Amino acid sequence: MSMAHTLPRFSIGLVNYKTLDLTRTCLSFIKSHFDSGALDANAVDVWVVDNDSADESTAYLRSLDWIHLIERPSPGKEQGFAAHGEGLDLILAAINTDYLFLMHTDTFIYEPQIFLDCLQRMQHEPNIAAIGCLHQLNRGHVRLFWRAFTGFFKYHSRRIKQQLGLPARQARPYIEPYIKSFFALWNVGLMKKLGYRFYMQQQIPGYVLQDKLVAQGYVIERMSAARLFRYLDHVEAGTVGLVSGYTAQNRRLQRKQAMLKQLQSQQETTK
């Protein structure tokens, strides 16, 4: 189904830092949807911030004439989510659309119908400020239940230890409260109207924002992993694994490498 005449104008934004293979694969999927006509290249702006990678990924991004590239030189001492958050806010300031899909460079969109589904849902319910997923992998119902079950006991045991003055690690919520930015649609027109950014109070980008929007009566709609992952795949912490220098034995890095090999094989077959 062609989306060229059904989608409002929107933007796609991601932040690159030294992830050439992931970024190239992520953008190749988006470009393929433009080439097939599933997405209208004249109605979709793709924005990429490069956080001073100064490597082959920077050169690759400079070679693309169909994206808007923002080169953010010398992020300085910022690392991890702080640098990522500042990059997202550069995209926020630059775009002139009301809707922005945030993605990670290790998110691969197989079926562009997901863009249409999310936009139609947000337009149908004006009080929805964002649509996303709580989980970065599709673990299935059994594994999700087990994680919540074991997390419940970890959370309360740590709270009890802390109340008794015993040494204990910080108690973390056993049910994830925030949608993740590996794929999420944001009503950035609303955000700008309210004067909000993605990176606030030195917290993980989007977390404080979600709290503030909910407190004002807006809805952060949660999509199940089972539904979302029909349209895409995500290498959980794939970018972190590359930048942090995970060993070849790390399961996340192994998953990333296996996925990229499979995707490259599929792309060669279709040529």
pLDDT computed for residue 230 by the predictor? 92
Q: List Cα–Cα distances, 173 to 32, 151, 178, 222, in angstroms.
A: 39, 8, 11, 17
* 17 pLDDT higher than 50: yes
| Mutual angle of helices 20-36 and 251-270, in 10-degree steps | 40
Find, among 197, 218, 217, 222, the residue nearest to 207 by Cα.
Answer: 197
**Distance between CA 104 and CA 46 in Å, rounded?**
13
pLDDT tens-digit map of 239-255? 444 444 444 444 555 55
Asked whether the beta carbons of 33 and 68 are under 8 A apart, the reply is no
**How do 10-16 and 44-50 pair as beta strands?**
parallel
pLDDT tens-digit map of 83-125? 999 999 999 999 999 999 999 999 999 999 999 999 999 999 9
Burial of 121 (0-12, 13-18, 19+ CB in 10 A): middle
pLDDT computed for residue 238 by the predictor? 42
**How do 183-187 and 128-132 pair as beta strands?**
antiparallel
Identify the band that residue 235 occupies on the pLDDT scale cut at 50, 70 and 90. confident
* pTM over the 0.85 mark: no
| Least confident piece of the model among 60-64, 65-69, 153-157, 190-194 | 153-157
pLDDT tens-digit map of 128-141? 999 999 987 665 55
Q: What angle do CA 265, 268, 271 make, to 5 degrees?
A: 150
